[in-house]
Structure 1
């Protein structure tokens, strides 16, 4: 069997440093053997020459690198950076991960954490929890929903958002995720981030993103949690541009204030005269691949608003990622709309008119119900009831 993933442990994610001496954070040999039993390769990264030599002498089947050595190995492709995870508490650990597109985990059991590592890392608090998360990681990741919207655009959704037709465990997870997304709650945020980023790492097109953006909220201020998710994705793929791509310049009525029939009738047109493309990107999006992160997709009006505006810039491809996908058991599941847009899409005076509408377009989607199993497994891990 080919080895699918590789874990890089920074020395300080395995050992505490006390008076220039190293004390193990846990039973290092046993934990590393457990990880290797999952068909995951294990490497250790340290700049301490004495520790490096000691590890090489005492650990079997574990590659030990110096930091410069690891960087050079990634750069000259002596080793592959695909399906790789870096675990370490320092800002330099984050920077290595960002430079070479590694999934970055901030080990909560370490004594010291860099400020950037705290901000952008996925914090896993116990090593037993890490093992359980890795068991999910090595299994085939399923996106719940995929829809090719046009030749240039596609929508993928991480999980189902329908909490009223699921079991208790899944409903509990989805309710907590909604708390994170809608009310900036902190419960389960790292689990949701881990689920999103690990899924990204198995979807190779996401490594080719030139610019990351978030869907604007109904108000004038951007969604803080979507900006945070975008920034974490940006760091994972080594992109520095953080300016928003889409800007809402006029407040709109929230969609839940309208009936379903009203929302479908108004469609994306309800949103097109309140959003513009950030002038910062004028002339920069042509032939580029961009990704827009949203919280939920229901009928697709917000996605269609963004798609019509962005395709007009001459982009190569747009990937829309929604964390949750509401699906109706009857009627419309995605309403595709094509608009004629005239005027300056980087300003507030563009005009639009709907040319075509297809209310049954969502029947073309691919839906993977197996993705729900991963949500249930995350519930068990976070609540201490899973296999740890």
Structure 2
């Protein structure tokens, strides 16, 4: 493994532009010490649900920020956390984003649950023209570190989708995954690589779990061996596991018919607020 300009790469030939793009900003020795500690702090995930042998979902951190649930200082730190996951490239704090990335990397590199991933991807933005997201940056850095040669996204958004966070909770409960099924498909460019692959999809947050479920259904129907969905944070304590019958070709035109769902409210959660928040709170 090469450490060059602050960027960890398995392949020494992958220098230059990738180091500039994904390198770790080290301005003082304290930064290096902080980064090294972040890689080691991860103890347990906030949420984990296994659904059979071919699907698992993880949320690494509690992202709840409602004032009556968390203290003022914790709320402030979580807002830093959220801002940098949602910000565009001009508004991101490089150090905050790198701490988030290293926090995920600490878990991904030490847990056997993520040792056999063939393809790394992200859950597509609601707007297909928005390719510059914090999560895409994090995913690509992890892909390069892992050495995966598949640099195409396994899921693609072909049509703009109404943003769930602006559509209201009732809309999400009633509409479920319909908007995603209508605007997402498996990427036909890597069809031969998706079949039989273990695919890990990274997203910023999970609220109800419907986005994760959309990824599960589409990629398993596309022939993936297993789908692992991870989010940096989890809002609320609900997760809806769904069953759908899919007709057609998920690489092109298809229809999904709702069968049933189960609410895993209160299951699979642990309190892990402080282990990560204390580090991101040190950003200057």
Aligned with 2:153: secondary structure?
coil
Match of 1:127 in 2: 29
Q: Which residue of 1 aligns with 2:226?
A: 317
**Aligned mates of 1:382, 1:180 — CA distance in 2:** 12
Partner of residue 172, structure 1: 76
Asked if the contact 2:38/2:102 (under 8 Å) is kept, the reply is no
> How far apart are residue 205 of structure 1 and its match?
2.8
Tell me what 2:181 maps to: 272
Match of 1:212 among 120, 130, 134: 120
- 1:325, 1:223 → 2: CA distance? 23
Corresponding residue for residue 57 of structure 2: 155
Matches within 5 A, 1:14-29: none
CA distance in 2, matches of 1:169, 1:114: 39
Q: What pairs with 1:1-388 in structure 2 (closer than 5 Å)?
A: 87-89=3-5, 94=8, 97-99=9-11, 114-139=16-41, 141-164=43-66, 165-184=69-88, 185-187=91-93, 188-224=96-132, 225-328=134-237, 333-347=238-252, 349-358=253-262, 360-365=263-268, 367-369=269-271, 371-383=272-284
1:136 to partner: Cα distance: 4.4
> What is the distance in 2 between the residues matched to 1:170 and 1:146?
22
Aligned residues: 275
Q: Where do 5+ consecutive residues of structure 2 fail to align?
A: none
Deviation (angstroms), 1:216: 0.8
Note if contact 1:210-1:288 (Cα within 8 Å) is conserved in structure 2: yes
1:288 Cα deviation from its structure 2 partner: 1.2
- Secondary structure in 1 matching 2:60: strand
Q: Kindly indicate whether the alpha-carbon contact (under 8 Å) linking 1:287 and 1:315 is maintained by their aligned counterparts in 2.
A: yes
Corresponding residue SS for 2:152 = coil
CA distance in 2, matches of 1:235, 1:124: 20
Q: CA deviation at 1:270?
A: 2.8
Partners of 1:155 and 1:326 in 2: CA distance: 14
Once the two structures are TM-superposed, the CA of residue 321 in structure 1 deviates from its matched residue by 1.0
**SS of aligned partner of 1:283:** helix
Distance 1:379 1:226, change over 3 A: closer
Uncovered stretches (5+) of structure 1, i.e. residues with no partner: 1-70, 72-85, 101-112, 384-388
- Where relative contact order (Cα < 8 A, 6+ residues apart) is larger, the structure is 2
Q: Give TM-score scaled by structure 1 length.
A: 0.66
Supply the distance in 2 between the matched residues of 1:115 and 1:283 (Cα, whole angstroms).
29
Helix, strand or coil at the partner of 2:39 = helix
> Could you tell me how far apart the structure 1 residues matched to 2:224 and 2:131 are?
24
CA distance in 1, matches of 2:154, 2:171: 28
Kept in 2, the 8 Å contact 1:155–1:319? The answer is yes
CA RMSD of aligned residues (A): 2.3
Compare CA radii of gyration and give the structure with the larger one: 1
Q: CA deviation at 1:286?
A: 2.3
Deviation at 1:267, TM superposition (A): 0.7
Task: Determine the C-alpha separation between the residues in 2 that align with 1:140 and 1:177.
Answer: 16
Q: Could you tell me how far 1:382 is from its partner in structure 2? A: 2.5
